[in-house]
Amino acid sequence: MTNSLLFDFTVDKAAKTVFITREFDADLSLVWDAFTKAELLDQWLAPKPMTSKTKYQDFKVGGKRFYAMVSPEGQERWAIQEYTSITPKTNFKMYNAFADKDENPELPGSEWDHTFSEQNGTTKVSITIYNESLERLERILDGFTQGMKMSLSNLENLLATLSSKERS
Amino acid sequence: MEVRRDVFQAIADPTRRAILLLIAAQAMTPNAIAEEFHTSRQAVSKHIQILTECELVKQEKKGREIYYHINANKMKEIDKWIEQFKRIVETQFTQLDEVLSTIKKKKK
């Protein structure tokens, strides 16, 4: 795989906005599908060892995707994405908010804007994320790192048990 | 209802950013800070209060005077969150690269 694919990540703290640009070695329609179809999103959105599952998705303006990030221990962190604007294979916008398992959103959420363009078989995706509060960013991280932390503490317990057995 | 101040809200305001810049250079009393701005002392004091509430600014008593100085740890904390978020996004996109290349291989 070529490593010359662009990755740019900047944060404007004052504007509460994160800017991300990334190139992918695939044509636009495939990358568009990977960002907009639940069955593909579930394959890459959750950083391993976490997994992602979508309960339902209705990809149209006003439609939603209701999904969860699942930790290796089975703990679920639900979120709702509501699509606010869609220009096929060019741009889509959504409002993302954490939720409980009964789909009650926890506001405020964040506004996501995705723009797609293709040049010579490489597709560029530009994402801006507007967060109303930094606390939310902290919570996004908590959700992601929870799974990892639990795995690590399990490992620690296992190691402690093993080493105490060795001693006795 | 008490609303917990958050850091983004604190630094979204230009006056508060200016205050942070000022006291980053040296600890200052509220009066000295107010003299730098063309607003009322009360307005400046409100800004300082918000900065203190979200722990970007710490106060220290020296004799009868209160000095405000920047809380570098809190500023670092923000950068740490951002760095972690960046790493998660990188991980997600590396996973997406794999998904894309698998799909492309299947098509051929």
Identify the residue among A141, A142, A148, A149 best suited for mutation to test binding to B, counting B beta carbons within 10 A and taking the highest.
Answer: A141
Tens digit of pLDDT for each residue in B64-101?
Answer: 999 999 888 887 777 777 888 888 888 899 999 999 99
Decide if A47 and B92 are in contact by the 8 Å CB cutoff. Answer: yes
**Chain A residues 21-40 within an 8 A CB cutoff of chain B:** 22, 24-26, 30-31, 34, 40
**Could you tell me the pLDDT band of residue B4, with boundaries at 50, 70 and 90?**
low
Residue B55: is its pLDDT beyond 80? yes
Give me the residue from A16, A25, A47 closest to B8, CB to CB: A16
Across-strand partners of A67?
A: A54, A79
Give the rounded distance of the alpha carbon of A32 from its chain centre.
15
- Domains in chain A with CATH codes: 7-50+83-96+109-163 (3.30.530.20)
pLDDT in tens, B13-44: 778 888 888 888 889 999 899 988 888 889 99
Task: Tell me whether residue B55 is exposed, middle or buried, using C-beta atoms within 10 angstroms of its C-beta: 0 to 12, 13 to 18, 19 or more.
Answer: middle
Q: What's the CATH number for B1-70? A: 1.10.10.10
Q: Mind telling me how many Å the CA of A68 is from chain B's nearest CA?
A: 15
Query: Which residue of chain A comes nearest to B13, CA vs CA?
Result: A14
User: What is the rounded distance in angstroms from the CA atom of residue B20 to the CA atom of residue B48?
Assistant: 9
* A45 touching B (Cβ < 8 Å): yes
What is the pLDDT, as a whole number, of residue A47?
82
Q: Measured between beta carbons, which residues in chain B are less than 8 angstroms from residue A26?
A: 100-101, 103-104
CB distance from A103 to chain B under 8 Å?
A: no
**pLDDT values of chain A reduced to their tens digit, one per residue, 168 residues:** 445 788 888 888 777 788 999 999 999 999 999 999 999 999 998 888 889 999 999 999 999 999 999 888 888 889 999 999 999 999 999 999 989 999 999 888 889 999 999 999 899 999 999 987 666 666 666 666 555 555 445 555 555 665 666 555
Residues 7-26 of B with CB under 8 A from A: 7-9, 11-12, 17
Looking at A13-145, which runs of residues are DSSP E strands?
Answer: 17-24, 51-57, 64-70, 76-87, 91-99, 105-119, 122-131
Please tell me if residue B81 touches chain A, with a CB cutoff of 8 Å. Answer: yes
Instruction: Name every chain B residue with its beta carbon within 8 A of the beta carbon of A5.
Output: 97
Q: Please report the pLDDT score of residue B47 as a whole number.
A: 93
Which residues, listed in sequence order, are joined to residue A110 by a DSSP beta bridge?
Answer: A96, A131
pLDDT over threshold 80, residue B5: no
On chain B, the residues whose CB falls within 8 A of the CB of A34 are 96, 99-100
Predicted pLDDT at A67: 96
Whole-number pLDDT of residue A87: 98
Tokens representing residue B72 in the block: 């570098």
Q: Touching check for A133 and chain B: CB below 8 Å?
A: yes
